[in-house]
Structure 1
Amino acid sequence: MHSSTQYGRGQGDEYLNEYTDLQWWDDDLADRFDGLIFDCDGTLSDSMPLHYVAWRDTMSQRGVEFTEERFYSMGGMPTEKIISLLCDEQGVRVDIDATATAKENAFETLMDELQPLEIVCEVAARHRGRLAMAVASGGIRPIVSRQLQQLGIADWFTAVVTSEDTVGHKPEPDAFLRAAELLDVSPARCLVFEDSPLGFEAAVRAGMEFVDVRTKIVR
């Protein structure tokens, strides 16, 4: 039974101990890996429901439908690309930069409700100082940084890679490869924690194993 490290506003041991039979939870990851790379939204932070509310409201105000199912299928994709794809599909013209700003502003108004995804943050806490760790997110740096700060984990990571830092974005492997480079760890010795199909594909293309935090299975 593992003790809980407290951060954010999570539920602590009562929640975490439900998962102690999971392989990637129990394993000493230092036996197999030199670096851990974490997505942010939906992985370290339980932010996806808040992001969806911000997206839904922002796009509906502009006459664009964005279903929850479609939203989750696009996890890890940069904001501007999502807006461009949706508007092209639905024949709606918007100012992409202004719409992206409006969406991020809408999300920021909801951030007081942000919670950590405890099971993943606990893994990071257990390996902090023992393995090199980075964040690789499709989000923009101000939003990612604020989330990490609000959860009290910003200083856990040697590197934070965001959408501004790479030309290619998930499912391209660029963010994960850049994170490995900054950690000075071979991609083959990195384990990725992700929650989206685009992120899983990016990890595979980077030559890294990954954990699907939705099912807690190492692939």
Structure 2
Amino acid sequence: MKLTIPQGDFDAYLFDCDGTIVDSMPLHYVAWHKMLAEYNCPFPEEQFYAYGGLPVETILEMLNEQHGLSMPVKQVAHEKELYYQGLVHTIDGIPMTIDHIHDKHGKIPFAVVSGSPRKSVVDSLEALGLLDKFEVLVCAGEYSKGKPHPEPFLKAAELLGVDPKRCLVFEDAQPGIDAAEAAGMQWVRVPLPKERLAAAEAAR
């Protein structure tokens, strides 16, 4: 299964991390399930994927409001990330994205634009030996408005010194795609794990 890249030339590639470069979403869901179970907070898998790209603290605030809970947002977010970091050594990359990283590395600059904390992003990329491929990382806590607001992508373009209209975004979740469109950037969607699995089974 390959990604279809929009026609034209681009001056930079901007990548979401989890679910786009790193096949980490299932592990993140394990970490979420572990932490939220302590507060009897439901978080169906479909909802988890729909919230892809949102900062962890934002998701917790939304869940508190939805379920009338008062989970300590910063504490739970911290514990969730610690639990994920204990799993990160088991992650795999997403080949259809990594192919484009290797193909364009050294030809145009790259940035990662993520709703995860910087340590989580660094640990994930280091686990795959990809950290040195990226000139810029823009992570949770480093912008005032997260996806679907365009700010994170616009900040990455500014740090790279590239016109936003000349950037191509790789994303797996709708909030990130909405953010890319709002930033005036073209985008390519990376299929979700179940979609990649279905395509692989169909190709057998």
Give the TM-score taking structure 1 as reference length: 0.84
The match for 2:82 among 86, 89, 105 is 105
State the distance in 2 between where 1:23 and 1:199 align: 18
Letter in 2 for 1:154: L
Q: Are residues 1:207 and 2:190 paired?
A: no
Match of 1:204, SS? helix
State the distance in 2 between where 1:110 and 1:23 align: 31
- Cα distance, 1:120–1:172 mapped onto 2, change above 3 Å: same
* Correspondences of 1:1-219 after superposition (within 5 Å): 18-19=1-2, 23-24=4-5, 32-214=9-191
Q: Is the 8 A contact 1:56 1:67 kept in 2?
A: no
Match of 2:141, SS? helix
State the distance in 1 between where 2:70 and 2:4 align: 48
State percent identity of aligned pairs: 39
Moved more, 95-104 or 205-214: 95-104
Q: Give CA deviations for 1:179-207 in whole Å, capped at 9, x if unaligned.
A: 10111110000000000000000000000
User: RCO higher in 1 or 2 (8 Å CA, sep ≥ 6)?
Assistant: 2
Consecutive unaligned residues of structure 2, counting only runs of 5 or more, are: 196-204
Match of 1:200, SS? helix
Q: Give CA deviations for 1:133-172 in whole Å, capped at 9, x if unaligned.
A: 1111111001001111111010111101001211010000
Between the two proteins, the alignment pairs up a number of residues equal to 193
Q: CA RMSD in A?
A: 1.6
Letter in 2 for 1:50: L
Letter in 2 for 1:167: S
Consecutive unaligned residues of structure 1, counting only runs of 5 or more, are: 1-17
Match of 2:52, SS? coil
Alpha-carbon shift at residue 23 of structure 1 (Å): 3.7
Give the TM-score taking structure 2 as reference length: 0.90
Alpha-carbon shift at residue 90 of structure 1 (Å): 0.8
State the distance in 1 between where 2:158 and 2:46 align: 34
Alpha-carbon shift at residue 63 of structure 1 (Å): 1.4
> 4+ runs of 1 displaced by more than 3 Å?
none
Letter in 2 for 1:61: E
Alpha-carbon shift at residue 49 of structure 1 (Å): 0.4
Q: Give CA deviations for 1:92-150 in whole Å, capped at 9, x if unaligned.
A: 11211111111111111211211001110110111000011111111100100111111
